[in-house]
């Protein structure tokens, strides 16, 4: 621990004290079984975990940790997609069990582990619901969240899964407009349960709003155009800040007050993609700018370690909100459409996760062939 940490405490743990939950955007079997996860919980105040096909692809295909299970499941006659799901469910169950004390102590959606539906169903509402229900029932833990892409087809799936009492993490959100639609879909799911006389006091949800990819997409365009308004590196934070402003407006609404009166918990914004892609920016740039009450920040290992080492936990979200509209006006004046950028990012996000999933399945197939001939 650095001198500053000894003086002021672990910056990651301090986030929790400020109302923002630090989650870990990574999961592998060895971190669960080898004590690393227990250490993160004890020392860093970790409050949740997220996963995606890219993370599992690296863990399963890129190590020997799962070879024994691959042999066993292949011998049972399962294909690669079924094998992947069995491995992922087992890891998520084990992580959920380690995080269960956090879930019981803190509540409000912390102590959870997120598991994603197949990216291949991102544009199929019915298939998304079927897969989400299957994963929810397979993990069979109250502190699992099922990740559903926030595509147009994903919105009704969010409503239907929420109505069924499933904790949902809506992912791949890039625009404030789509975020607002996600909130609407989730509220409708809660209201349907209330109309049916079903409880809503144990349903948790987060809306995963992606951050740094926005600047990664926009900054090169600004560089070409000369950036007359000086907004390079500021649009991602401004965009997220406006999503948070909408979140606060929802919590102040009469509609939310009625749901809260019967036990509803807020659907918290989750800041995703908070690692820095441009070396010109401080490596904890996006984490520091978006510290806010009733939010989550899920960080990959390198960002987590950087923030633990030299993060400065101060609530700054309202500073970002105050300047956000002007930043977006400057972007528009530069001739760049944020709506077009975020639409492209959503499409690219689905494509990237689909490619990772396909690579994962191909890797499992290849590894099974190698293991069977070894």
* Distance separating alpha carbons of residues 129 and 118, to the nearest angstrom: 11
Q: Is 277 a catalytic residue?
A: no
Q: Is residue 154, in this structure, part of any structural domain at all?
A: yes
Q: Is residue 367, in this structure, part of any structural domain at all?
A: no
* Distance separating alpha carbons of residues 171 and 295, to the nearest angstrom: 15
* Distance separating alpha carbons of residues 266 and 319, to the nearest angstrom: 23
* Distance separating alpha carbons of residues 27 and 40, to the nearest angstrom: 12
Q: pLDDT at position 98, please?
A: 97
Strands 295-299, 268-272: parallel, antiparallel or unpaired by DSSP?
A: parallel
Q: Is residue 365, in this structure, part of any structural domain at all?
A: no
Q: What's the CATH code of the domain at 320?
A: 3.20.20.70
Q: Is residue 73, in this structure, part of any structural domain at all?
A: no
Exactly one of 7, 147, 224, 352 is catalytic; which is it?
A: 147
Q: Which two tokens stand for residue 46?
A: 């970790």
Q: Confidence class of residue 264 from pLDDT cuts 50, 70 and 90? A: very high
The more confident residue out of 136 and 367 is 136
Q: Is residue 129, in this structure, part of any structural domain at all?
A: yes
Q: pLDDT at position 117, please?
A: 95
The residues facing 144 across adjacent strands are 113
What total of structural domains would you count in the chain? 1
The arithmetic mean of pLDDT across residues 283-298, rounded, is 98
Q: Is residue 330, in this structure, part of any structural domain at all?
A: yes
Q: pLDDT at position 374, please?
A: 63
Instruction: Find where tokens 């000369």 sit.
Output: 226
Q: Is residue 268, in this structure, part of any structural domain at all?
A: yes
Torsion from C-alpha of 243, 248, 250, 251, nearest 10 degrees: 150
pTM for the full predicted model: 0.95
Over the stretch 307-360, which tens digit does the pLDDT of each residue have? 999 999 999 999 999 999 999 999 999 999 999 999 999 999 999 999 989 999
Over the stretch 173-211, which tens digit does the pLDDT of each residue have? 999 999 999 999 999 999 999 999 999 999 999 999 999
* Distance separating alpha carbons of residues 308 and 116, to the nearest angstrom: 27
Domain that holds residue 256: 3-29+119-352
Q: Is residue 335, in this structure, part of any structural domain at all?
A: yes
Q: Are 209 and 261 in contact (CB under 8 A)?
A: no
């Amino acid at each position: 621990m650095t001198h500053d940490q000894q003086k002021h405490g672990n910056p990651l743990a301090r986030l929790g004290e400020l109302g923002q939950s630090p989650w870990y955007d990574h999961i592998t079997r060895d971190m669960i079984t080898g004590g690393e996860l227990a250490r993160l919980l004890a020392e860093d105040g970790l409050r949740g975990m997220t996963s995606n096909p890219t993370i599992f692809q690296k863990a399963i295909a890129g190590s020997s940790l799962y070879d024994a299970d691959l042999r066993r499941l292949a011998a049972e006659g399962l294909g690669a997609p079924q094998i992947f799901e069995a491995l992922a469910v087992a890891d998520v169950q084990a992580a959920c069990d380690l995080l269960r004390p956090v879930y019981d102590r803190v509540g409000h959606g912390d102590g959870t582990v997120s598991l994603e539906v197949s990216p291949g169903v991102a544009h199929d509402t019915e298939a998304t619901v079927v897969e989400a229900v299957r994963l929810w029932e397979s993990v069979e833990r109250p502190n699992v969240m099922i990740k559903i892409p926030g595509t147009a087809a994903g919105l009704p799936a969010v409503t239907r899964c929420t109505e069924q009492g499933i904790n949902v993490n809506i992912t791949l959100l890039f625009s404030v407009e789509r975020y607002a639609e996600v909130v609407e879909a989730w509220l409708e799911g809660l209201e349907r349960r209330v109309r049916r006389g079903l409880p809503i006091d144990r349903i948790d949800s987060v809306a995963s709003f992606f951050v740094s990819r926005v600047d990664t997409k926009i900054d090169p365009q600004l560089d070409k155009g000369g950036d007359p308004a000086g907004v390079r590196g500021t649009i991602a934070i401004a965009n997220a800040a406006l999503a948070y402003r909408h979140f606060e407006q929802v919590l102040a609404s009469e509609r939310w007050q009625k749901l809260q009166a019967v036990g509803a918990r807020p659907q918290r914004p989750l800041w995703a993609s908070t690692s820095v892609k441009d070396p010109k920016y401080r490596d904890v740039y996006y984490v520091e700018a978006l510290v806010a009450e009733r939010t989550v920040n899920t960080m990959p290992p390198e960002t987590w370690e950087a923030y633990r080492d030299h993060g400065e936990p101060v609530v700054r979200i309202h500073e970002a909100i105050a300047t956000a509209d002007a930043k977006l006006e400057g972007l528009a004046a530069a001739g760049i459409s944020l709506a077009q950028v975020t639409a492209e990012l959503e499409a690219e996000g689905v494509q990237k996760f689909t490619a990772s999933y396909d690579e994962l399945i191909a890797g499992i197939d290849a590894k099974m062939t190698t293991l069977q001939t070894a």
